[in-house]
Amino acid sequence: MEARRDAFGVEPICRAVGVPVSTYYARRSRKPSRRTLEERTLVARDLLQRDFRATRPNEKWVADITYLRTWNGFLYLAFILDCYSRMIVGWQLATHLRTDLVMDALELPTACASRARTPNTRRSTGSASTTPSGCTKNSMTCRPPSTRS
């Protein structure tokens, strides 16, 4: 509203938004709430500076958390995406929105990335669920992409 106030005036904007003019002026003179002040400090820094291009796997990861409404309530999904392959390399689903949800989602791709750098990368043995990066969620073992079957 502040950006358009000079061009259109306060009264027409308030009419269009459906807010009384007195509410606008009362809100302007009020000091910010504690919640507003806390939210200003929680803004995450953009470490990639909106550059999602990667030249090799595991160079850049991005993450997000979303919620899913079910008949029994909400589920929360945290996932890690590799910018190079554009594939999900780690994920976790939970009924809570606590730190360990994200930490569990980070556990799998971190373990697989560190094992991929070592010369003795073990091949996964008989697991049915394998992620696109060659990691199995159950045994936390990795195999190089060239040996996938």
Q: Is the pTM of this model over 0.85?
A: no
Positive or negative torsion for Cα 53, 57, 59, 61: positive
98 HSE (CA, 13 A, CB side) = 4
Check residue 133 and report its DSSP letter: T
- Return d(Cα 139, Cα 131) in angstroms, integer: 12
Q: Give yes or no for residue 30 having a pLDDT over 90.
A: no
pLDDT band at 117 (very low <50, low <70, confident <90, very high): low
Residue 92 near residue 71, CB atoms below 8 Å: no
Look-up of token digits 């697989």: 112
